[in-house]
């Protein structure tokens, strides 16, 4: 039985909080995953001049709502978020999960009201980047503009891969692909890609993967009984990496850290 919620315990602490002080891009441990990657000292200082450290958000607290008039973009500092859209009939569709170093709110760029709502999955914090000031900086900083375009490109590529996963893969492959991909995202942050915790509820994960909650529960049991993964409360341990790759219809070989 999958518990209602898995928490990103250690992973949520990737970016430590400096009480009462602004964490600058120049000293952030997530800079290589975020917009600051590859920027010159001058460009970093320019970016630092507009970035604001927002207070921590509690679990289930909204970062922004769909339709908000002026929405900054946000870089996740700690914790994790989910984004979702809601149909006219009130049906919710989870559109993404975001980890430290990733950007939330790209659908609100250019003065357009965001189509999604972002909710903290646990105690989380973000860096707030005002859209108008950021646009002006990008217009005069080629390196910053290039770095941001790379961030946007990675997000588009991830969304396209997810569309393929949902549109063409079986239920087994969807879950296997998600577990492998999430592990790789943790590895980019200096953590294990085969042993980690989840922060999203099983309802949210099932929604994201286009599965019924009962189906997701059966799949986890199937993966565990087959020796692919071990599920203990909030913990996921990938036991047979190659077999999980096969279940995901993916040719992948795990490289030693």
Give the domain ranges of the chain.
Answer: 11-163, 167-247
pTM for the model stands at: 0.85
What pLDDT is attached to residue 167?
80
What pLDDT is attached to residue 104?
93
171 CB-contact burial (10 Å; exposed 0-12 / middle 13-18 / buried 19+): middle
CATH of domain 11-163: 2.60.120.10
Q: Which residues pair with 118 in a beta bridge?
A: 64, 83
CA distance 102 to 98: 6
Give the fold, CATH level 3, of 167-247.
Arc Repressor Mutant, subunit A (1.10.10)
How confident is residue 23, by pLDDT bands cut at 50, 70 and 90? Answer: low
pLDDT, one tens digit per residue, over 205-247 is: 999 999 999 999 999 999 999 999 999 877 899 999 999 999 9
Q: Is the pLDDT of residue 5 over 80?
A: no
Tokens encoding 25: 């891009």
């Amino acid at each position: 039985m999958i518990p209602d919620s898995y928490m990103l315990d250690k992973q949520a602490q990737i970016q430590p909080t400096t009480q009462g002080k602004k964490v600058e891009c120049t000293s952030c441990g997530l800079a290589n995953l975020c917009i600051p990657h590859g920027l010159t000292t001058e460009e970093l200082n320019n970016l630092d001049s507009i970035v604001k450290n927002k207070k921590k958000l509690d679990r289930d607290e909204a970062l922004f709502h769909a339709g908000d008039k002026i929405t900054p973009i946000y870089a996740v500092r700690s914790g994790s978020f989910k984004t979702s859209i809601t149909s006219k009939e009130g049906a919710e569709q989870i559109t993404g999960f975001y980890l430290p170093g990733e950007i939330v709110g790209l659908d609100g760029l250019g003065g357009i009201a965001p189509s999604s709502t972002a909710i903290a999955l646990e105690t989380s914090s973000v860096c707030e980047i005002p859209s108008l000031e950021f646009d002006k900086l990008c217009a005069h900083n080629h390196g910053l503009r290039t770095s941001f375009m790379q961030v946007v490109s990675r997000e588009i590529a991830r969304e396209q891969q997810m569309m393929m996963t949902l549109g063409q893969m079986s239920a087994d492959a969807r879950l296997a692909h998600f577990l492998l991909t999430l592990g790789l995202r943790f590895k980019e942050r200096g953590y294990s890609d085969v042993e980690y915790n989840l922060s999203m509820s099983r309802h949210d994960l099932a929604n994201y993967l286009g599965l019924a909650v009962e189906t997701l529960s059966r799949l986890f049991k199937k993966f565990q009984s087959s020796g692919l993964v071990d599920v203990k409360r909030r913990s996921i341990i990938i036991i047979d990496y190659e077999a999980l790759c096969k279940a995901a219809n993916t040719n992948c070989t795990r490289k030693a850290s």
